[in-house]
Every structure is written in C-alpha cells, then in structure tokens.
Amino acid sequence: MKNKQSKVKELYEILKFCRPADGVGESTMIDTFIKPLGVTEDKAGNLYKRIGKNPTVMWSCHTDTVHGFNSKETQTITVDSGTNPTRIFKTDKECLGADCGTGVWLMMQMIRAGIRGLYIFHRGEECGGIGSNYISSDTPELLEGIDKAIAFDRYGYDSVITHQGGERTCSDAFGNDLIELLSSVGGYRLDSNGSFTDTLNYAEQISECTNISVGYFNQHTSKEYQDISHALALCELLCRHGNEFSKLVSKRDPSVRDYKWYGTSWRNQKVSQQYSVYPQYEDVLVEKILDFPEMAAGLLRKSFHQLSDEQIAQAIEDRYYMYGEDDDQIPW
C-alpha cells in the first residue's frame, strides 16, 4: 500500500504543473522528473533513453499539454479523500493534464523497473507533433531496430488504437496480441477511431504503431480527470511484464498506406500514395485539417493562446454564420 501511495503522490506532483509547450511549467516538470532518469536531449527538445541491447519496442508519451500559454507554473488539483482515492481532478477552467502526464509517469516507472525499450518523451505533440516529426525526418537512425511503437496517450479504459486519423497504423494481429497481454488490466478492444498522437509520425518507418488507454477522461477540458486505479493497474502490468511486449507479432507493412474512410461509402480502402479515394479539395489546407483534426486544433490553440477552446470555437461559428464559406469576405 505504501508503494502505491508513493506512486500516486508522484503522479499528483507531475499533474500539478501547467505544461503548455515550451512553458515554464513544462520545463520545470522535465527538470524535476525526467532529466534525473539519465535521458538524452535532441535538438527539438525530445528526451529519450534506451534500455537493453537492441530494443525493438518504442514507448511514447509527450510532455506538453493544452494549458493556456499564460497559465501559472502550477495549479491546484484534487485527489478523492480516503485511504483508497479513486480520481485526480480539478475544478477551475483549465485542463488537468493527465493527457499526457499519466504517460510520462508510466514511462518513468518502467525505466526505474529496467523494462527494455526506446523511451521517447516527445515535445510539442499538442502543437502538431513537432518532436516526433523532427525524429522521423531528421534523425530516423534513432528508430533503427524498432518495429513496435506504443503510446500512452489515449483516454478511457479500453482502446488499442489501430487507426489514427483514418490511417491504419497497426495490424489487427498485433492489436489482438496486445489485448491479450493487457487482459489483467481490463477489457481492452481494437479501436479504429484514434486521433493523432506521436506514433502516427512513425507509421511509414515502424511496423506497428499504436496508442492505448491509460484511464483519463474529458481530456483538453476543465472536466478532465484521471482514474487512479486504472493507472496503477496498468503501471503494475507494464513494470512486471513490459519485456514481453517485444514478443508481440509485427505484421503491418509500413510502406503500404491503408485508410478507413469515415463516411458511408468507403471502409478499409487500400490506396496508393496518391490517396486516390479521398475527395479532392481545391484548398490543400482544408484537406489537411480534415486529415489531421487534432493537429489543427493544437495549432489553433497555440496561435490564439489568449483564448479558451470555447472562445475559439465560438469565433469560428460566428464567422461562418456571418460570412458563410467565402473566406475572402471574412475580416481576419
């Protein structure tokens, strides 16, 4: 019980920091919790550590949150009272930051337990995957020998993500093997409705790229909370059996692009690099926003950091009803 209490306390201390990308809170959290683990920092600010000889599994999280850029360094958060607390949450207007503070915490415990793998604490995920894009394009040699990338950046209890933004990033065979390994934590299932996380940026280089639920809910909102019991159960499994993940099957060919169309006409279509089944938009920016909505939202938050999500959404809606889709008439 004492060990569990100390782990919950550490998770609590991580989540106390407001961590907008490149903010003071993010920097202090990194200095306090991640750098003492003996990590290496690259030119994009990513922090990584390799454990074991020639590991084949990448463990992924990100250090930033969607806190406003004018946020204080720390925030007041609450843990359910009693000897067996169930939730960490807060009551003001900003997010908790379990997305992806819980992922940071999980990877810290795994490093201390000596679980083999390439651990990457990515920077700028909420701003469009800046850190992972840098690794993918500028230092791909870091990924040599890696055929599985597992992110701890999904809400809920039960998702093993097979598609991100409609693109298949891991095979069902791998996903089902992973579900079996996770069975002691809860009823995980294949989920093809994933949004962006950093492992998507490696989908053309790494065979199996997924994201799994870590027990937070209502991410990016003031109602976000973390289920403590789920986080602890997942942590225990990873620290005991994490080395078994390297034995999971790797089936997906990263050179083949495989998409799921979200409408009623297209499902699980294999397409060429020309993306021929996609509707063709004259505006390439609109097309990319449709492809990567989470990344677009992150860029909006960074550009209009003085506004809340609700204010940005309302401004978009107001302009639409006032001017329609003719953006030439909008007084930007």
pTM: 0.80
| CATH 3.40.50.10470 fits domain 2-247 | no
Report the SS3 class of residue 217.
strand
Read off the amino acid at residue 300.
L
Structure token pair of residue 278: 């996609």
Report the SS3 class of residue 253.
coil
Enclosing H/E stretch for 205 = none
Each residue's pLDDT, cut to its tens digit, for the chain (332 residues) gives 458 889 999 999 999 999 999 999 999 999 999 999 999 999 999 999 999 999 999 999 999 999 998 899 999 999 987 666 699 999 888 999 999 999 999 999 999 999 999 999 999 999 999 999 999 999 999 999 999 999 999 999 999 999 998 999 999 999 999 999 999 998 999 999 999 999 999 999 999 999 999 999 999 999 999 999 999 999 999 999 999 999 999 999 999 988 875 443 333 343 333 333 344 445 566 666 766 777 788 778 777 766 777 777 767 766 655 545 555 544 44
What lies within 8 Å, CB to CB, of 292 at 6+ separation is 128, 165, 196
Asked whether 115 and 242 are in contact (CB, 8 A), the reply is yes
Measured distance CA(108)–CA(47) in Å, rounded: 12
Asked whether 52 and 117 are in contact (CB, 8 A), the reply is yes
| Sign of the CA dihedral running 51, 52, 53, 54 | negative
Our CA angle for 282, 315, 96, nearest 5°, is 105
Cβ count near 292 (within 10 Å):
21
Measured distance CA(160)–CA(179) in Å, rounded: 7
Structure token pair of residue 299: 């860029």
Measured distance CA(10)–CA(235) in Å, rounded: 13
Task: Report the DSSP beta bridge partners of residue 20.
Answer: 65
